Amino acid sequence: MNDIEKRNDIPSASNLSKYGISAIICGAGGALLFILQIISRFRVIGLLVGVVMCILGVISLKSKDPADTKPGAVITAAGVLIVLSKTGIPLLQAVSGTLLSIGAFSLIAMGIWNALKFFIGLKKRS
């Protein structure tokens, strides 16, 4: 009976790869959001980056592949927040900057969480 319980506790290779890929993507996405937040402090470049992100996000949302819709929504939201931070209205600038920071921290935290699950699963498999 213990062997069966131990076998069920071992994660599959597909789950491990899912955790590993998710850890890399989330970590990179969080770091990219921080970089974009720094770039968006420059008025013209920030506005241009925000508009380009909005366009790329909408293109991803219109994709037929359902796996593209979540990243498309995140990219569109980040682009809108960057554009809103360039409006000149202090309240909108503060709110959009705060939301971008929360999003970046959340993505990095999710990446760390998935990396922990990946390494714990690797340890269980060995």
The DSSP annotation for the chain comes to -HHHHHHHHSPPHHHHHHHHHHHHHHHHHHHHHHHHHHHTTSHHHHHHHHHHHHHHHHHHHT-S-GGGHHHHHHHHHHHHHHHHTTSS-HHHHHHHHHHHHHHHHHHHHHHHHHHHHHHHHHHHH-
Record the pTM: 0.78
**Cβ(85)–Cβ(93) below 8 Å:** yes
Read off the pLDDT of each residue in 26-33 and give the average, rounded to a whole number. 90
Which tens digit of pLDDT belongs to each residue from 49-85? 999 999 988 998 888 877 778 888 888 998 998 898 8
